[in-house]
Amino acid sequence: MSHDPTAAPAIDDVRVSLGARSYTVRVGRGLIARAGAEIAPLLRRNRVCVITEATVAELQLDGLRTGLAEGGVAMEALILPAGEATKSWRYLEQAVEWLIAQKVERGDVVVALGGGVIGDLVGFAASILRRGVRFVQIPTSLLAQVDSSVGGKTGINSPLGKNLIGAFHQPSLVLADIDALDTLPARDFLAGYGEVVKYGLLGDAAFFDWLDANAPAMAAGDKALRQEAVRHSVRMKADIVERDETEQGDRALLNLGHTFGHALEAATGYSDRLLHGEGVAIGCLLAFDLSARLGLCSQEAPERVAEHLARMGMKRTLSDIEGDLPGRDGLIALMGQDKKVQDGSLRFILVRAIGDSFVTADVPRAALADLLDEALAG
């Protein structure tokens, strides 16, 4: 078969099958440039309201406007500040009031253009506006493409904990444009990679091996590898979400590393000291260390994870976080706000091996305390 070098690269479609709430995640290059053609079939009238943040607006908003216009779709845009602090009551109110002022109707579609902060905030705004309007996710960060844009968890943070206010509200379409990753600073790419490697760690040892071999080239910019990593991650997430949309059971596995990670994000004030994906990577390694400490997995497993994170140049220990952290009891208190807490007991995602995770409440406090004491001592 002859190969046409000018042909557009293929788009991978991952279907998330949830009955009436099913949708497609399109993964590939050039999706923002043809957003109008992609979104138009969802519209009753040829207009969308886009919410984004300042950094992404500078890089992607003109391209989206042109891409929408080429498909005959007009847009209005609201630009919020960049950063995790935007996932708050204040900006939720601003977003919802702006959508109301724009006279967004129940039949309209709202577009979230940005990373996880924007996707979570806008999805939540869409879920409560007129008791629910449809929304499209256009994730521009690696983290949002592989994780937060898929599965319908939307929400904002409380000063007492991460994502404590929110709703399950599935998007109607996700456009994961691999070209958008070109503009990501290296730190943000690696933070997003924390969520990619999580999939291998929680349920797919072969994917972890593939990442071990290919992730350095992927981080260096190989687009085919990036597309394959995003496609595979989204497929894994879709499989879990299809089994357990509202986290009554298996979906909690996607929370590997998050019990620790969310506590660390709260401890660092949701600031630039620690990005979400960095907290997840550190949290995954702590979960592996705890599992080894409890005799659930071999000591080689956390060692292999630590080596991989180190080779990728990622933060992996508490000493990689700048500034002071609360002590062990402070961190355990922050973990007490985790949404997996049941009957007052913390529940953790632990592992039997790389690619074999499970949910348990059976973690003696002394083991947790020893782990954190050691981790805090560096």
Q: Please identify every residue annotated as catalytic.
A: 131, 153, 195, 237, 247, 251, 255, 258, 262, 276
Q: Which is nearer to ligand LNCXM5UN, 127 or 255 (CB)?
A: 255
Show the binding pattern over residues 235-254: x = contacts ligand LNCXM5UN (CB under 6 A), - = does not: ------------x---x--x
Q: Using the rule CB under 6 A, is 36 a contact of ligand LNCXM5UN? A: no
Size of interface with ligand LNCXM5UN, in residues (CB under 6 A): 13
Q: Using the rule CB under 6 A, is 87 a contact of ligand LNCXM5UN? A: no
Measured distance CA(99)–CA(111) in Å, rounded: 11
Measured distance CA(56)–CA(78) in Å, rounded: 12
Q: Using the rule CB under 6 A, is 169 a contact of ligand LNCXM5UN? A: no
Answer yes or no: are the C-beta atoms of 190 and 141 closer than 8 Å.
no
Q: Using the rule CB under 6 A, is 134 a contact of ligand LNCXM5UN? A: no
Q: Using the rule CB under 6 A, is 163 a contact of ligand LNCXM5UN? A: yes
Q: Using the rule CB under 6 A, is 265 a contact of ligand LNCXM5UN? A: no
Out of 87, 153, 231, 315, the only residue in the binding site for ligand LNCXM5UN (CB under 6 A) is: 153
Q: Using the rule CB under 6 A, is 151 a contact of ligand LNCXM5UN? A: yes
Out of 86, 157, 255, 291, the only residue in the binding site for ligand LNCXM5UN (CB under 6 A) is: 255
Q: 78, exposed or middle or buried, with CB in 10 Å at 0-12, 13-18, 19+?
A: buried
Q: Which is nearer to ligand LNCXM5UN, 157 or 172 (CB)?
A: 157
Measured distance CA(112)–CA(34) in Å, rounded: 16
Which parts of 329-368 interact with ligand LNCXM5UN (CB under 6 A)?
339
CB of 163 to ligand LNCXM5UN, least distance (A): 3
Answer yes or no: are the C-beta atoms of 178 and 256 closer than 8 Å.
no
Name the segment binding ligand LNCXM5UN (CB under 6 A); options: 74-82, 143-151, 224-232, 300-308: 143-151
CB of 84 to ligand LNCXM5UN, least distance (A): 12
Provide the token pair at 67.
């891409």
Q: Using the rule CB under 6 A, is 277 a contact of ligand LNCXM5UN? A: no
Q: Which is nearer to ligand LNCXM5UN, 151 or 355 (CB)?
A: 151
Q: Using the rule CB under 6 A, is 162 a contact of ligand LNCXM5UN? A: yes
Q: Which is nearer to ligand LNCXM5UN, 78 or 202 (CB)?
A: 202
Answer yes or no: are the C-beta atoms of 151 and 195 closer than 8 Å.
no
Provide the token pair at 76.
């209005």
Provide the token pair at 186.
């290296």
Name the segment binding ligand LNCXM5UN (CB under 6 A); options: 54-62, 64-72, 97-105, 145-153: 145-153
Cα 210 to Cα 12, 228, 349, distances in angstroms? 19, 11, 23
Q: Using the rule CB under 6 A, is 195 a contact of ligand LNCXM5UN? A: yes
Q: Using the rule CB under 6 A, is 204 a contact of ligand LNCXM5UN? A: no
Q: Using the rule CB under 6 A, is 147 a contact of ligand LNCXM5UN? A: yes
**Residue tagged 């702590």 (tokens):** 286
Name the segment binding ligand LNCXM5UN (CB under 6 A); options: 33-41, 51-59, 146-154, 287-295: 146-154
Q: Which residues bind ligand LNCXM5UN (CB under 6 A)?
A: 147-148, 151, 153, 162-163, 195, 247, 251, 254-255, 258, 339
